[in-house]
Amino acid sequence: MEQVKPHTGATAGFFQLYLPNDRELAASLINRAETSGYSALILTVDSWALGYRPADLQRGNFPQFRGYCMENYYSDENFTKHLAKPPHEDQAAALQHYGKIFQYPLSWADLRWIRSQTSLPVAVKGIQHPDDARMAIDNGADVLYCTNHGGRQANSGISTLELLPGILAAAGSTPVMFDGGVRDATDVVIALAMGATAVGLGRPYAYALSYGGAESLTHFLKSFLAELDLTLAICGFKDIASLKAAGCQQVTDLPEV
Options 3.20.20.70, 3.30.540.10, 3.40.50.720, 3.40.50.970; which CATH number does 5-200 get? 3.20.20.70
Helix, strand, coil in percent for the chain, rounding step 5: 55, 10, 40
What would the 3-class secondary structure string for 1-35 be?
CCCCHHHHCCCCCEEEECCCCCHHHHHHHHHHHHH
140, 122 contact by CB (below 8 A): yes
- Please give the radius of gyration of the chain, using alpha carbons only, rounded to the nearest integer: 20
Average pLDDT rounded to a whole number, residues 38-52 = 88
92, 85 contact by CB (below 8 A): no
Q: Identify the pLDDT of residue 141.
A: 98
In angstroms, what CA-CA distances link 137 with 129, 174, 195? 13, 8, 18
Q: Identify the pLDDT of residue 67.
A: 81
pLDDT > 90? residue 151: no
Q: Identify the pLDDT of residue 250.
A: 42
Q: Identify the pLDDT of residue 248.
A: 56
Q: Where are the domains of the chain?
A: 5-200, 201-257
Q: What is the Cα 123 distance to its own chain's centre?
A: 9
Q: Judge whether 97 counts as a catalytic residue.
A: no
Q: Give tens-digit pLDDT for 69-82.
A: 999 999 999 999 99
Q: Using CA atoms, how far apart are residues 127 and 208, in angstroms rounded to an integer? A: 28
Q: Identify the pLDDT of residue 60.
A: 80
Q: Identify the pLDDT of residue 254.
A: 46
Q: Give tens-digit pLDDT for 113-133.
A: 999 999 999 999 999 999 999
Residues 201-222: b if buried by 16+ CB within 10 A, e if exposed: beeeeeebeeeeeeeebeebee
Q: Which of 88, 97, 149, 219 is catalytic?
A: 149
pTM of the full predicted structure? Answer: 0.89
Average pLDDT rounded to a whole number, residues 57-80 = 89
200, 179 contact by CB (below 8 A): yes
